[in-house]
Structure 1
Amino acid sequence: MIKHTALTIAGSDSSGGAGIQADLKAMLACGVFGMSAITAITAQNTTGVKSIMQVTPDILSDQLDMVFTDIYPEAVKVGMTFNCELIKVISGKLSEYDARNIVVDPVMVATSGARLIDEKAIDSLCKLLLPKADLITPNIPEAMILSGLSSISNEEDMLAAARIMGETFGCCVLVKGGHMSGDESSADVLYKTDNSYFWYTSPRIDNPNTHGTGCTLSSAIASYLAKGDPMEIAISKAKNYLSKAIAAGLNLGKGSGPLWHMTANVSERSYSEDSNSSHNISIS
């Protein structure tokens, strides 16, 4: 029986592979009851995004009120925020309801290359929303924008970017290294507010269908935080789940296809801290 709850605040993906749809699938697979507040409706599929329509600030505000005042979420994942007005609503409601375990996936560009946030909204994101997060999960291009680094080409750069963002926004930061090419393995780094960091290394999976991987990972992390796992363990479990969802080899659509979210999830009974390679090093 599911006992824990999580909320996703994000855009809708009509093809079901990313956004709200991916978030709710991942939350269910990871053993929590998922709820949603939609920021925008997108017309998209595995080949790209055709059009986007934002919801009104009032509708977003009402959605959040109805969730928080009835089934209080034990964790919140924030994805596509789209523009300044919606970011203000999200930030205000997270404060009003004293939301906890906030995971922000700073969605800026879709896998297909379509821009998913207004250029002016990045400043609002940095000032109003990221400082409220417990964890942010940027990929390499997003980390470059948020850290101000002109290049992130190796693990040293990743750690430098994570540290800059962590100190700037006062939260934990997971920089995802999947965009770096050439290695047989992929490394992500977690910078924590206690000035320590963890590396997570896993083998690259030969599957071009990666639509919604960022949404899925951040939602899985939020799910495990909702269930009471410490940050570093929640991330490790979520990465293990994501790897299985990619390795399942679902092959749908004409472009970068979706994952199989309902792969066997990572239960507490089967989890081991050795399930992927990670190590903790204090920063001097």
Structure 2
Amino acid sequence: MSDVQQARSRVARALTIAGSDSGGGAGIQADLKTFTVLNVYGMSALTAITAQNTLGVHGIFNLPLEAIELQIDAVATDLGVDAVKTGMLSQVPIIETVARKIKQHNIPNLVVDPVMVAKGGAKLLEDSSQQALIDHLIPLATVITPNLPEAEVLINREIKTVEDMKEAARRIHDFGAKYVVVKGGHLEGDALDILFDGQTFEQYVSPRHETKHTHGTGCTFSAAITAELAKGTPIREAVATAKEFITCAIRDTLGLGAGHGPTNHWAYNNRHKN
């Protein structure tokens, strides 16, 4: 067995295809931190560069399609990919390119985080791109992880109750994803997420921790699922680990910045060391 084959046989590898967050709380920075904490080798393909901090997004610069293609090609043809997640894909051509490359390289375990709006309110997905997400990317997904506002956009319907969340999961599953996780963090009460496999629902509940430091929660949650899938963890256990990971990250805040600060990506490991 070659050195490359030996390395591939013992290291779980996860790729994030997403935007860069200069503040480090979301995007590829959050994804790579999460992969590392969960003992997975992380790789990245940037789709955009954003200038942002805890107070908001101050600039968005999409990368050329060729740059996105070459990054994915470089990783897939040499290091290999056990799981991949997508984050900020703001334009139709970017979504189409990423979907084509995932199919071309037969990359398994696709986690789609349908990033639409930054925590500070800046739009990260153009309106014209929403249908492209449904048409090209969601049918390839092992799991898609919308929060309530994202789910409302995808199904064009308000979500106010747990039953509404279940109906949203059914409708999004019809788009072709194998599994759907609808995150209920925007509802009152405990933080409830729902996993739907096309037939049955499973609920994941954690106490709500009131804090403004929640920037990058969606990226981190979906990255944790991706890391676990890369290691071969079954989906229900992967979601459970991601739920614990993000709960720790929100609870043990770092307190950085004057606005919506980042979560604490070390918190999960710190808890498990004690």
Question: TM-score interval w.r.t. the shorter chain?
Answer: over 0.9
Distance 2:215 2:92 in 1: 26
* Counterpart contact for 1:162–1:173, Cα < 8 Å: yes
From 184, 187, 193, the counterpart of 2:192? 187
User: Partners of 1:3 and 1:171 in 2: how far apart?
Assistant: 25
TM-score, length-scaled by structure 1: 0.90
C-alpha distance in structure 2 between counterparts of 1:250 and 1:230, whole Å: 31
Instruction: Give CA-to-partner distance per residue, 1:70-95, whole Å, 9 cap, x none.
Output: 11110001000010111111001000
Identity over aligned residues, as a percent? 45
The letter for the 2-side match of 1:43 is A
CA-to-aligned-CA distance 1:221-270 (integer Å, 9 cap, x gap): 00001111111110001110111111212100010100111224399xx7
Matched, 1:67 2:75: yes
- Determine the structure 2 residue equivalent to 1:80: 88
What is the total number of aligned residue pairs between the two structures? 264
1:263 matched residue in structure 2 = 267
Mapped to 1, the partners of 2:156 and 2:268 lie a distance apart of 39
Looking at structure 2, the residues matched to 29 and 40 of structure 1 have their Cα atoms a distance apart, in angstroms, of 24
- What CA distance in whole angstroms lies between the structure 1 residues aligned with 2:254 and 2:31? 17
User: Displacement, 1:190?
Assistant: 0.6
Q: Is the 8 A contact 1:76 1:103 kept in 2?
A: yes
Contact 1:46-1:254 within 8 A present in 2 as well: yes
- The answer to whether the 8 Å contact 1:29/1:263 transfers is no
1:180-219, CA deviations, whole angstroms, 9 ceiling, x for partnerless residues? 13x1x111101113x1110111100132200000000000
Higher percent of residues as helix: 2
> What TM-score, normalized by structure 2, do the two folds share?
0.93
Gapped regions of structure 2 (runs ≥ 5): 1-6
- Which residue of 2 is the match for residue 225 of structure 1? 229
Q: 1:28 aligns with which of 33, 36, 61?
A: 36
1:189 maps to amino acid:
I
- Return closer, same or farther for 1:230/1:208 CA change in 2, 3 Å cut-off: same
Which residue does 1:17 correspond to in 2? 25
Going from structure 1 to structure 2, the CA distance change for 1:261 and 1:10 (only over 3 Å counts) comes to same
User: 1:275 aligns to what?
Assistant: none
2:240 is aligned, of 225, 236, 240, to 236
CA distance, structure 1, for counterparts of residue 38 and residue 165 of structure 2: 28
Partner of 1:246: 250
Which residue in the other structure is 2:4 paired with?
Answer: none
Distance 1:186 1:134 in 2: 23
Please list every run of 5 or more consecutive structure 1 residues that lacks an aligned counterpart in the other structure.
Answer: 271-284
Q: Which amino acid aligns with 1:115?
A: K
Whether 1:38 and 2:58 are equivalent positions in the alignment is no
Tell whether the 8 Å contact from 1:43 to 1:51 is kept in structure 2 after alignment: yes
SS at match of 2:78: coil
Residue 206 in structure 1 maps to residue 210 in structure 2: yes
Task: Check the 8 A contact 1:240/1:266 in 2, yes or no.
Answer: no
Q: Residues 164 and 264 from structure 1, CA distance in 2 versus in 1: closer, same or farther, beyond 3 angstroms?
A: closer
- Judging changes above 3 Å, is the alpha-carbon distance between structure 1 residues 170 and 14 closer, same or farther for their aligned structure 2 residues? closer
Two-structure CA RMSD over aligned residues (Å): 1.5
1:187–1:200 Cα contact (<8 Å) kept: yes
Q: Distance in 2 between matches of 1:196 and 1:45?
A: 40
- Among 58, 64, 67, which residue is 1:56 paired with? 64
Which of 161, 166, 173 matches 1:159? Answer: 166
